[in-house]
């Protein structure tokens, strides 16, 4: 059979041209596709405020363990400072968890609006201790009697206060949990008024 000669162009054709042709064709096809006018870069352009917030978050992100620890200390210091100011002003947003809520706020106001025997315990204790060190049997007996009287008065006053406060809480907050509020108020009554935290927000005799 006679052999048909092959064209030289088929044998020696450049492979690079064959590989490049589909890519060029694909690029041409993609360039002909319509682009979204809202996304000239192939993705939605972020708003200016979003871009600024992203840049700030990236700039403030700690890159090392030392920077992360420093940032945590600073955040803790700021939180404690806000809490200290809240204890002085009564700002509910930054108060500790044990002081938050309308029930605890009412309990504090109820205690601060009245005189409590327990708040005078420290000054009375100083007076009784001074009397007890005097080397006179009669004065020492008086000091011991005063101890007993003060303790009995504190217990009786705490019992009456707890009963009355519990009743007021049920009337004021019938649908809320008042668990622990009475004990919270009694512990507050043991402190002198000027040393209480959060600071008293009502005056003596003022109805909470």
What is the per-residue pLDDT for 68?
85
Rounded to an integer, the average pLDDT of 148-159 is 96
Of the spans 20-24, 71-75, 146-150, which averages the highest pLDDT?
146-150
Rounded to an integer, the average pLDDT of 168-172 is 94
Burial string for 143-162 (b: 16+ CB within 10 Å, else e) reads: beebbeebeeebeebbeebe
Rounded to an integer, the average pLDDT of 65-83 is 86
pLDDT at 66 over 60: yes
Residue whose C-alpha is closest to residue 172's, from 101, 77, 120 = 101
Contacting residues for 139 by C-beta, under 8 A, at least 6 apart: 131
Which position has the higher pLDDT, 81 or 164?
164
158 close to 176: Cβ distance less than 8 angstroms = no
What is the per-residue pLDDT for 26?
43
Burial of 199 (C-beta count, 10 Å sphere; 0-12/13-18/19+): middle
Which long-range CB contacts under 8 A does 113-116 form with residues at least 24 apart? Answer: 113/202, 113/203, 113/204, 113/205, 113/206, 113/207, 113/208, 114/161, 114/204, 114/205, 115/204, 116/157, 116/161, 116/189
Token pair 């979204």: residue: 36
d(CA 159, CA 181): 14
Per-residue pLDDT tens digits for 89-107: 778 888 888 999 999 999 9
Per-residue pLDDT tens digits for 22-45: 444 444 444 444 454 554 455 555
Per-residue pLDDT tens digits for 118-141: 999 999 999 999 999 998 999 999
**Eight-state DSSP code of residue 120:** G
Contacting residues for 56 by C-beta, under 8 A, at least 6 apart: none
Angle, helices 181-189/137-172, rounded to nearest 10 degrees: 150
Token pair 């192939």: residue: 42
What is the per-residue pLDDT for 128?
93
User: What is the model's pTM?
Assistant: 0.64
pLDDT at 148 over 60: yes
Per-residue pLDDT tens digits for 182-205: 999 999 999 999 999 999 999 998
């Amino acid at each position: 059979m006679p052999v048909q000669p092959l064209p030289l162009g088929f044998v020696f054709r450049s492979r690079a041209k064959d590989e490049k042709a589909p890519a060029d064709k694909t690029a041409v096809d993609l360039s002909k596709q319509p682009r979204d006018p809202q996304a000239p870069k192939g993705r939605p352009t972020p708003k200016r405020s979003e871009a600024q917030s992203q840049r700030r978050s990236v700039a403030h992100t700690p890159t090392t363990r030392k920077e992360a620890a420093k940032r945590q200390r600073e955040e803790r210091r700021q939180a404690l400072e806000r809490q200290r100011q809240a204890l002085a002003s009564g700002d509910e947003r930054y108060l500790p968890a044990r002081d938050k809520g309308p029930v605890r706020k009412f309990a504090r106001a109820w205690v601060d609006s009245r005189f409590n025997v327990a708040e005078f315990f420290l000054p009375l204790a100083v007076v009784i201790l001074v009397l007890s060190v005097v080397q006179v049997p009669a004065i020492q007996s008086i000091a011991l009697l005063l101890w007993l009287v003060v303790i009995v008065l504190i217990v009786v006053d705490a019992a009456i206060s707890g009963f009355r406060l519990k009743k007021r809480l049920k009337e004021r907050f019938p649908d809320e949990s008042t668990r622990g509020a009475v004990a919270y108020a009694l512990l507050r009554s043991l402190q002198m008024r000027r040393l209480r935290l959060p600071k008293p927000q009502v005056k003596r005799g003022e109805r909470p």
